[in-house]
Amino acid sequence: MTAIPIVLFWTLALHGLFSRKPMLVYLFFATMPVGAFAVIPTSLTGGLTFTPTPVIALLLIARTFSDRDGPAAFLALALLPHRLMLLTLFWAAAAVTTLFMPRLFAGKVMVVPIRGIVSAAAPLQPSAQNVSQFAYLSIAILSVFAFARILRSADIRQHALKAMCLGGGIAVLTGLLDFASQFLPITPALEPFRTASYALLTDIEVLGGKRVVGLMPEASSYGGQCLAFLSALYFYRRAIADGRVREIYVPVVLCLLVVCAWLSTSTGTYVGVAVFFLVAALEWFLRINADERSGAVHRRTLGAETTAAVSLFILIGILAIVQPHIFDPVQSMVQRMILEKQESTSFTERGMWRTVATAALSATHGLGVGLGGTRSSSSVIAIFACTGIIGGLLFYGFVLQCLLRQVADREPEQRILLSAFRFSFLPTFAISLMVGDAIFGGLTAFGLGLATALSGQTNPRSVRWYDYQSSESSRSNDCLRRSMSQMNA
């Protein structure tokens, strides 16, 4: 039974590799919510799990830099200070620490191993996790390189935004199917997509209800995916040229993502969603107070958004007056998952992971223990603990550089996209303080690559913005053919 999804995946992947259409971009986003699926049987890989998105990312990277100008473009991205030099230096620092530090400090530093007993610290030892984690980080970094090149095309950017909507829809679909498995006999249909070799926490209950995991390993990772798509789609949506996608599909997916994030019952996700609403309110306030001339592009659709927000608040107010007990389950869940979180064993355990990881960084004199050396339950702590102080400063220096980038052109699409990247990064960064590891996700790689691509766009004629009211499909087709010919040149 597991062979069918594997064959289907590789059929789509190879078709995307050789297709003249940007199918790999769609597969990249569409496979993100399927994080418990091993596309190569673990019996053939020595227990290592290769999930769909990194494999698709490798194919996308190969496709992007396999042309005649690919090596030169890669070197230009890697070596120029205003492009990806800081990220390249971070990659080098991660390679050095992962290769040498687990051996240099073996048995001398206490860590919480990635595999094995996670409730107590153990001496640092080199392991296969060092190799696998560095490989995953390398794929994430190379994905930034690929996006920094292909997203210079306006048409590919539009395809990527549609693919993002598709990925959010699949996250919703898998979550709703997992939720429905409590009432319908559909679990056997989901099991072939849950073949990863690591622990899969798919049957956990909270307050008598199932923690929805979709096709991810656990509820927190599924909730993180929902939050990432929610934040990205909300802020990037105004740059989508297709009116049907922008005005119909995206709002529906956004509403369902909020529902699925709630069903995940993940504390980190709840906090992240709260941060998302705060950032969305800040963005809305800045847009409504923008200058009428220079900020006109950011003020679009404000009327409809204001109407929707006011209507929602009125509806909630009416429900609170007419049926005040309808919000009791919400209050109980917030009480249990957030206010009482400090009393849970998971909070204590994850706090211990962060403490041990921070102590390991200190014990190595700031050099780090190497990727895959320790658990941390915090992406920020993981990056510093695993790659050292130098590695952490290089990575977050690059992130800051991307957040401060400015577009070379004054095209509306580019201004909206760069603003969207800045706002969408904040909720995911907030949750990374509480959960995660040193490997940044696909949506983060997309955002970093997008910011780099936009800031390096020096030829205004190579980018075409699709007017919201335009229905001239011939222009779109011409742009698509020109963009794809550039990729395949």
**pLDDT of 293:** 57
Query: Alpha carbon 325 to chain centroid distance?
Result: 36
- Average pLDDT across the chain, whole number: 85
Closest to 444 in 3D by CA, of 398, 381, 378, 377:
398
Q: Are 156 and 483 in contact (CB under 8 A)?
A: yes
Angle at which helix 412-432 crosses helix 267-288, to 10 degrees, equals 150
Q: Are 206 and 265 in contact (CB under 8 A)?
A: yes
Q: What is the mean pLDDT of residues 61-76?
A: 93
- Consecutive H or E run containing 261: helix 250-263
**pLDDT of 457:** 59
Q: Are 295 and 419 in contact (CB under 8 A)?
A: no
DSSP 8-state assignment for residue 437: -
pLDDT band at 487 (very low <50, low <70, confident <90, very high): very low
In the chain, count H helices and then E strands.
19, 4
Q: Express each pLDDT in 192-216 by its tens digit.
A: 999 888 778 888 877 677 889 999 9
Q: What is the mean pLDDT of residues 259-280?
A: 90
Q: Are 146 and 65 in contact (CB under 8 A)?
A: yes
Cα–Cα separations (whole angstroms), residue 382 to 98, 272, 357: 13, 19, 7
Cβ within 8 Å of residue 299, ≥6 positions away: 287, 288, 290, 292
Q: Where are the alpha helices (DSSP H) in 151-242?
A: 154-180, 187-190, 219-236
**pLDDT of 128:** 85
Q: Percentage of residues in the chain with pLDDT exceeding 90?
A: 57
Tell me the C-alpha distance between 214 and 33, whole Å: 8
Q: Residue for token digits 């007056």?
A: 321
Tell me the C-alpha distance between 236 and 413, whole Å: 10
**pLDDT of 309:** 74
**pLDDT of 27:** 97
Q: What is the mean pLDDT of residues 216-237?
A: 93
- Taking the CB of residue 344, how many other CB atoms lie within 10 A of it? 13
**pLDDT of 125:** 92
Is pLDDT at 489 greater than 70 in this prediction? no
Q: Are 361 and 392 in contact (CB under 8 A)?
A: no
**pLDDT of 307:** 75
- Consecutive H or E run containing 316: helix 302-322
Q: What is the mean pLDDT of residues 432-454?
A: 91
Q: Are 87 and 400 in contact (CB under 8 A)?
A: no
SS3 at position 475? helix
Q: What is the pTM for the complete model shown?
A: 0.86
**pLDDT of 422:** 95
Tokens (6 digits) for 458: 């020096």
pLDDT band at 298 (very low <50, low <70, confident <90, very high): low
Tokens (6 digits) for 33: 């919510």
Tokens (6 digits) for 488: 């395949």
Tell me the C-alpha distance between 19 and 12, whole Å: 10
Q: Express each pLDDT in 341-398 by its tens digit.
A: 666 777 788 888 899 999 999 999 999 999 999 988 889 999 999 999 999 999 999 9
- Taking the CB of residue 91, how many other CB atoms lie within 10 A of it? 24
Is pLDDT at 112 greater than 80 in this prediction? yes
Q: What is the mean pLDDT of residues 168-172?
A: 97
Tell me the C-alpha distance between 465 and 475, whole Å: 10
